[in-house]
Structure 1
Amino acid sequence: MKLFAHRGYSAQYPENTMEAFVQAYQKGFDGVETDVHMTKDGQLVLIHDETIDRTSDGKGYIQDYTYDELKRFSFSHGSAGYYPLPLLKDLLTFIQDKDFLVNIELKTDVIHYTELEEKVHQLVCQLGVEKKIYYSSFYLPSVLKMKSLYPQGYVGYLMEENYDKKYQELLKYHIGAFHPRYDFLNSQRIKQLKQHNILVASWTIPDFKEYQRLKELGVDILISNEYLR
């Protein structure tokens, strides 16, 4: 069972910053989960929301800024100090020489960025870290596109509602990994998924009790803000 840091070690450091990713590695997480969006000039950046309002001292949509324009904001989520918005390339370069994994969530369910999937996978391949990358998305077309780009790799389907519908889509499209919200999982559902050789990753694990429950049920990857081991 692997433990991933949700948006980096976000319980202790500003989410989706290089500091949060580096500290997750140093703490002993097996990997990090992060979110990728695309700027006006086609740069791949790591941030959860479509806008910069919640996590920075600026306002507006990521897609309306160039990366250079975004450098003037601090993505500190209210913490003191300057935290620049990281590029996906920054994180992938960091893991190149490390035994450390990255779950890249493709944030295409609200804004359908043109060719985001291709650009992400091209960068991953350029840096030679394919075997350290787990892709996921809530948006089925992105999941299927990434499956076609990387048929031998890990591509997961995220869900936080409509479990039965998503489960049927998993089977229909032969998707090899499922990422349901933790409270949707029970022994029967996990057994059902395992019978179809579907890997299970769950988020966002709130406490040690849930961590133990899901670990005992055989979930493959647990994603948490806290280090729960």
Structure 2
Amino acid sequence: MSRTPDRSPLVFAHRGASAALPEHTLAAYARALREGADGVECDVRLTRDGHLVCVHDRRLDRVSDGRGPVAAYTLAQLRSFDFGSWHASGEPAGVLTLEELLDTARQAGRPVRMLIETKHPNRYGKAVEYRLRAVLNRHGLTSAVKDAPVRVTVMSFSPLAVRRSRELLPSLPTVQLMDLLPPGLRIRRLPFGTRIAGPGLELVRRRPDLVRRLKAGGHQVYVWTVNATDDVDLLLKLGVDGIITDRPGEVLAHLGR
């Protein structure tokens, strides 16, 4: 039975509707938007010739028929690989650039939130955040305008990358991702003025008090990756602000949306 609280959390599609279709593909994101996801989440890495592509792993092996580090290839070379047939759906797909995903979000016909995670460590270090700023500038997305067709939030597990994003893109919200509690971290205070925490589901299960303490400190909380309805119910009770899921349609239905 679905339960709708006074304020339903935002639902973000993790790498698109990635349970149904290959992650980080245009088809996966298009499906998530059709299903009504409030936003989408993506990981970005730099190619050898300076393009941001939506790929989670450092290496190509798991999600394509290519081999080796993403950073070793140009965009043209990556386009020669199949990024879809590995998935159970069997649908072939090409590599997706961040620019292409931004265009897709713009065409949704409604406001879309986008969570962009910069991956670290990587071969090009801070160049990822600098390139992200350039891309967002080109698309006019460096300001947090409430009624903008696409509203961007930048995330990372690296506190230094989060600080760099705050310095380069001061108008955009940032998320400090975490899968464990670093030694010395004050639960009520996130590093470098970040206002959104992004704990993993396993961490929240082990430490449900974490959400309460973060909320008491004035932070929002987005939890990843949440696919089971029992876990959705747990997060509703805890009052989280965002749910990041591989199954956006199912989570929305459970929320009564």
Aligned equivalents of 1:172, 1:129: Cα separation in 2: 24
Q: Which letter maps to 1:221?
A: G
Q: How many residues are paired up?
A: 229
Shift of 1:122: 2.1
Tell me which moved more, 26-35 or 125-134: 125-134
Tell me which moved more, 47-56 or 111-120: 111-120
Shift of 1:134: 1.1
Cα-to-partner distance string for 1:36-68 (whole Å, 9 max, x where unaligned): 000000111000001110000110111110000
Shift of 1:206: 3.0
Q: Which letter maps to 1:184?
A: L
Task: Please give the residue correspondences for 1:70-219 in structure 2 after superposition, counting only pairs within 5 Å.
Answer: 70-76=78-84, 78-79=86-87, 80-97=90-107, 98-130=110-142, 131=144, 132-163=151-182, 165-167=184-186, 170-185=189-204, 186-219=207-240
Shift of 1:111: 3.9
Shift of 1:193: 0.9
Scaled by the length of structure 1, the TM-score of the pair is: 0.93
Residue 28 of structure 1 is matched in structure 2 by 36
State the identity %.
Answer: 28
Aligned equivalents of 1:160, 1:42: Cα separation in 2: 29
Stretches of structure 2 lacking an aligned partner (at least 5 in a row): 1-8, 145-150, 253-257
Shift of 1:108: 1.9
Task: Please give the residue correspondences for 1:51-66 in structure 2 after superposition, counting only pairs within 5 Å.
Answer: 51-66=59-74
Q: CA RMSD in A?
A: 1.9
Aligned equivalents of 1:166, 1:15: Cα separation in 2: 32
Residue 27 of structure 2 is matched in structure 1 by 19
Stretches of structure 1 lacking an aligned partner (at least 5 in a row): none
Quickly say closer, same or farther: Cα 1:15–1:219, change in 2 above 3 A: same
Tell me which moved more, 150-159 or 33-42: 150-159
Aligned equivalents of 2:177, 2:67: Cα separation in 1: 27
Aligned equivalents of 1:188, 1:168: Cα separation in 2: 10
Residue 5 of structure 1 is matched in structure 2 by 13
Scaled by the length of structure 2, the TM-score of the pair is: 0.83
Shift of 1:169: 9.5
Quickly say closer, same or farther: Cα 1:50–1:136, change in 2 above 3 A: same
